[in-house]
């Protein structure tokens, strides 16, 4: 029984790590760390003294280096844990707060996007999910204003200084405007787009937010979510995407249960944990 609990604890830890790499698109880093871990385990099993000695000498240096390099990712790791705990236990932390954008406010966002697309005026709106955005936002000005068409039009007016930045929406409120977002390095997706689309995809790669972007060159509307950039063919599709996003994030009736979500990552984490137990515990007993 204790071995089962032991494996489950490690499996949960590995599961959250897998979610982090999935969210940040850092699969190469994950496989690099996994390869180093397997080499160390094999060296321990077959008593490769030189390899073990080198790993032991440089282990502390490597750990410190990884902490320094991946500071933001480590913060995001704990944010993912909190988000999953909230999903597991329901919305009890938010039961007295309205986290769902109202239909009227969704219509305001959609109407502004449609009109700006017709006028070929750029727009970038970020709708917050469960994860914190503060670590990835630069500059901007606090607003805390109600979501309205006149306000959004005034923000993205080309004659205003903040029109090139992003607007952040949370809890029926425009919390900040003229914000700068991290740029994506996924050149395969952004090769035919400009900086605004790169920023929309960048924040969608690092967090669970939804980005809505209007191209001033083409007058086309796109969304970015879960590290994917998607073109909107008709304006009704944009409203459906926003409603779907908010429903999945904040409506407990629509949310997938903990056991149903990310099944591949769960099985992979359990398999890795079982393998580690076999190699480290069972083989060395």
243, 261: one domain? no
Q: Which two tokens stand for residue 25?
A: 């698109």
Whether residue 58 is contained in a domain is answered as yes
Range of weakest confidence among 76-85, 188-197, 275-284: 76-85
Report the pLDDT averaged over residues 215-233.
Answer: 93
- Does residue 143 sit within a domain? yes
Q: How far apart are CA 199 and CA 233, in angstroms?
A: 21
- Mean pLDDT, the chain, whole residue set: 82
Structural domain containing residue 73: 2-90+257-282
**What's residue 140's pLDDT?**
92
Is 178 a domain residue?
A: yes
Q: Same structural domain for residues 148 and 240?
A: yes
Task: Output the domain CATH number for residue 158.
Answer: 3.40.1700.10
Least confident window among 33-42, 110-119, 216-225: 33-42
Same structural domain, 172 and 232 = yes
Q: Is residue 97 assigned to a domain?
A: no
Q: Copy the structure tokens of residue 274.
A: 């079982």
What pLDDT shows up at residue 53? 83
Residues 234 and 171 in one domain: yes
User: What pLDDT, on the 0 to 100 scale, is given for residue 86?
Assistant: 56
Exposed/middle/buried for 277, CB within 10 Å: 0-12, 13-18, 19+?
middle
Find the DSSP H helices in the chain.
2-24, 27-45, 49-69, 71-89, 103-119, 149-155, 187-190, 195-206, 235-250, 263-276
Q: Residue 96 domain-assigned? A: no
> What was the pLDDT predicted at 40?
79
Pairing relation of β-strands 123-127 and 210-214? antiparallel
Residue 174, strand partner residues = 145, 169
pLDDT of the residue at 76: 66
Task: Establish if 49 belongs to a structural domain.
Answer: yes
Share of the chain above pLDDT 90, in %: 36
Distances in Å between the alpha carbon of 116 and those of 122, 158, 219, 277?
A: 7, 11, 7, 57
7 and 39 fall within a common domain: yes
- Do residues 55 and 6 both lie within one domain? yes
Please tell me the predicted confidence (pLDDT) of residue 94: 46
- Are 161 and 263 within one domain? no
Domain total for the chain?
Answer: 2
């Amino acid at each position: 029984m204790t071995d089962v609990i032991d494996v489950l604890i490690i499996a949960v830890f590995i599961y959250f790590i897998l979610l982090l790499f999935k969210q940040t698109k850092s699969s190469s880093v994950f496989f690099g760390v996994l390869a180093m871990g397997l080499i160390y385990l094999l060296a321990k099993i077959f008593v490769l003294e030189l390899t073990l000695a080198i790993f032991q000498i440089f282990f502390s240096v490597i750990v410190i280096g990884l902490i320094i390099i991946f500071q933001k990712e480590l913060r995001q790791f704990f944010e993912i844990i909190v988000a999953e705990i909230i999903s597991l236990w329901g919305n009890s932390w938010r039961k007295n707060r309205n986290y769902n954008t109202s239909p009227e406010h969704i219509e305001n966002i959609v109407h502004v996007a449609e009109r700006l697309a017709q006028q070929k005026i750029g727009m970038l709106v970020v709708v917050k999910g469960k994860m914190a955005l503060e670590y990835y936002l630069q500059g901007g000005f606090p607003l805390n204003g109600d979501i309205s068409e006149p306000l959004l039009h005034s923000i993205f007016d080309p004659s205003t200084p903040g029109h090139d930045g992003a607007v952040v929406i949370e809890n029926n409120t425009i919390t900040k405007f003229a914000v700068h977002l991290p740029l994506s390095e996924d050149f395969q997706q952004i090769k035919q787009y400009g900086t605004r689309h790169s920023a929309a995809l960048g924040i969608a790669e690092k967090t669970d937010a939804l980005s809505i972007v209007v191209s001033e060159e083409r007058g086309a509307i796109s969304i970015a979510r879960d590290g994917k950039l998607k073109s909107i063919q008709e304006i009704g599709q944009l409203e459906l995407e926003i409603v779907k996003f908010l429903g999945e994030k904040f409506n407990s009736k629509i949310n997938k249960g903990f056991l149903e979500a990310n099944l591949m990552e769960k099985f992979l984490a359990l398999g890795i944990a079982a393998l580690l137990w076999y190699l480290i515990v069972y083989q060395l007993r």
